[in-house]
Amino acid sequence: MKLIFKNLIKRPGRTAALLLLSVFLAFSVFGGTMTVLSLRRGLESLEARLGADVIAVPDKAKNKLEDILLQGVPGYFYMDKENVEKIAQTEGVEAVSPQYFLASVSAGCCSVPVQIIGFEPSTDFSVQPWIKQSYGKELQNDEVVAGANINAEVGEHLRFYDQSVKVAAKLDKTGTELDNAVYTNADTLKDLLGAAVDKGLVVLAKNDPDKLVSSVLIKVKDGYSAEDVASDISVNIRHVSAVNTKNMVSGIARSLSGISDMTGLMIIAVWMLSLIVMAIAFSMIINERKREFAVLRVIGATRGRLAATVLGEAFFIGLIGGAIGVLAGALAVFPFSGLIEAKLGLPYLTPSFGASMGAAGAAVLSSVIAGPLTSALSAVRVSRMDTGLILREGN
């Protein structure tokens, strides 16, 4: 063991070059794995957060719905509230819950516009399950539930259209643009709507929450197809289009599949390239160290001991390089998760601590395996060296 570390320290240039390869390998494996895991978790979170099998909206609002829910583009659209009852009476519908969209042009908490979503607590099955368990009370007037990315804590106040509201609870993070929205009940929504009109947004003056809704979330009964229920609503209720939420996220799923495949191929390519380069490097190193190994044989080192020395050096280079690579990957992935999400344009939710540690362990292991694997042939060559011939060549 002592000889191994002396050899690594004695040749810092060679050791640094091999370490760099191990770092690059572990960084690529860890970063790629974390990106794929985060995207998969984000997609699962989006499906769960929507909480509905079908979403009904005005005819011309399909694209706007995806912009609001998936891309975080604040907006609003409305349809007659009587449609809620019509939808509830559709065969195969188990439960409905209306929502009302109001986009703020600015907010004291944010540098970008915020989507305000009004919901009915009595029928809601989409928002309230995501409220942290520490909040078990009914949402009061002038209170809001803030998405995870809203820069305000429970008990603090936000201002929309110069009206102050209190943050009563925060939602768990989903890794989607829904983390940038705030949710409130009908009475608070009316107050905010009135404040918006007072601020000059007269286009909203006729959009009474008592008469209009933006969307209707729908749960489908067991035994019924969400696709069939959505089609039934779209055909039989005028000026209403129903969207199967699984279809809405299918595009994201396809993008995720493509990214996963590309990342997997990249990891394999990096691993294979690292194996080839490291194998060549160890072979060249053994040629340079032939006389050193011959001298060690003369003073009593066994062939097995020399082979073990080569494998040991490769093992520790892989272990140290893997640890550094994972640390570098963590510094690249965790602090910039928001930027990665924005660049990819897909739901992105960092995996749990356990999953992250598993990815880190896999990355270090890949680096540890790569070192001895690429040096194995060199270790065999060392064990078969003709000591006398090498020393005579040196003379």
Is the predicted pLDDT of residue 213 greater than 60, yes or no?
A: yes
What does the pLDDT look like over 306-339, one tens digit per residue?
777 777 878 888 899 899 999 999 998 888 877 7
pTM tops 0.85, yes or no: no
pLDDT band (50, 70, 90) for residue 395: very low
Is the predicted pLDDT of residue 203 greater than 60, yes or no?
A: no
Q: Is residue 335 classed as helix, strand or coil in its secondary structure?
A: coil
Answer with the one of 248, 268, 292 that is the final residue of a domain: 248
pLDDT of residue 17: 80
Q: Are residues 52 and 192 in the same domain?
A: yes
Q: Rank 23-27, 49-53, 326-330, 387-391 by mean pLDDT and report only the highest.
A: 326-330
Q: Are residues 63 and 198 in the same domain?
A: yes
pLDDT band (50, 70, 90) for residue 5: low
Longest Cα–Cα distance in the chain:
100
Q: Residue 223's domain spans which residues?
A: 46-248
Answer with the one of 248, 273, 300 that is the final residue of a domain: 248
Q: Are residues 157 and 137 in the same domain?
A: yes
Q: Are residues 189 and 322 in the same domain?
A: no
Is the predicted pLDDT of residue 202 greater than 60, yes or no?
A: no
Is the predicted pLDDT of residue 108 greater than 60, yes or no?
A: no
Closest alpha carbon to 76 in 116, 110, 111, 39: 116
Is the predicted pLDDT of residue 97 greater than 90, yes or no?
A: yes
Q: Is residue 157 classed as helix, strand or coil in its secondary structure?
A: strand
Q: Name beta bridge partners: 56.
A: 216, 242
| Chain-centroid distance, C-alpha 63 | 24
More reliable by pLDDT, 51 or 335: 335
pLDDT of residue 135: 65
pLDDT of residue 172: 79
Q: Are residues 205 and 347 in the same domain?
A: no
Answer with the one of 232, 248, 264 that is the final residue of a domain: 248
Please give the Cα distance from 320 to 94 (Å, whole number). Answer: 57
Is the predicted pLDDT of residue 142 greater than 70, yes or no?
A: yes
Q: Are residues 99 and 238 in the same domain?
A: yes
pLDDT of residue 391: 52
- Rounded to an integer, the average pLDDT of 17-27 is 86
Q: Are residues 218 and 362 in the same domain?
A: no
Q: Are residues 308 and 388 in the same domain?
A: yes
Q: What are phi and psi of 216, to 5 degrees?
A: -130, 120
Q: Are residues 20 and 153 in the same domain?
A: no
Is the predicted pLDDT of residue 269 greater than 90, yes or no?
A: no
Domains: count for the chain = 2
Q: Are residues 81 and 192 in the same domain?
A: yes
pLDDT of residue 141: 86
Rg of the chain, C-alpha, whole Å: 30
Q: Are residues 238 and 258 in the same domain?
A: no
Q: Quick check: 338 and 112 in contact, CB under 8 A?
A: no
Please give the Cα distance from 24 to 367 (Å, whole number). Answer: 9
- Give the Cβ contact number of residue 87 at 10 Å: 23
What does the pLDDT look like over 147-200, one tens digit per residue?
888 888 888 998 888 888 999 988 877 777 778 888 898 889 888 888 877 777
Cβ-based neighbours of 329, under 8 Å, separated by 6 or more = 26, 27, 30, 31, 34, 363
Q: Are residues 268 and 339 in the same domain?
A: yes
Burial (Cβ within 10 Å: 0-12, 13-18, ≥19) of residue 10: exposed
